[in-house]
């Protein structure tokens, strides 16, 4: 799954919004996770995790204008993509 989402702000603000949302999601749904990790290296967030036999991994790159998500989320990709689009709209507004 690849998605490019305009963030309509600067890199640091976009990264802060991503971090804030990740913290909320981990607090809400962390009890479902068997394992998870996420690490920033510059403007790239690398993530991985598993829950109930479902595994996900990928990267989120923040550019001057966009958030670029590249993840492996099969077989739930269509549903997850819709959820990510909704989350992005909440964080960054419509494009």
pTM: 0.82
**Nearest to 29, CA basis, from 43, 8, 49, 9:** 49
- Residue holding tokens 């990267």? 59
Taking only the tens place, the pLDDT of each residue in 7-19 is 999 999 999 999 9
Q: Is the peptide bond before 89 cis (omega within 30 degrees of 0)?
A: no
Q: What is the Cα 35 distance to its own chain's centre?
A: 16
- Strand ordering across the sheet containing 54-62: 2-6, 66-72, 54-62, 44-51, 35-41
Taking only the tens place, the pLDDT of each residue in 45-62 is 999 988 777 888 999 999
pLDDT value of position 82: 81
């Amino acid at each position: 799954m690849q998605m490019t989402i305009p963030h309509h702000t600067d890199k640091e603000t976009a990264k802060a919004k991503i971090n804030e949302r990740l913290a909320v999601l981990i607090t809400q749904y962390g009890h479902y996770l068997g394992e998870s990790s996420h690490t920033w290296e510059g403007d790239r967030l690398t993530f991985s995790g598993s829950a109930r036999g479902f595994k996900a991994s990928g990267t989120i790159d923040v550019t001057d204008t966009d958030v670029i998500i590249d993840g492996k989320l099969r077989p739930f990709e269509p549903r997850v993509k819709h959820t990510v689009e909704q989350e992005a709209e909440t964080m960054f507004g419509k494009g």
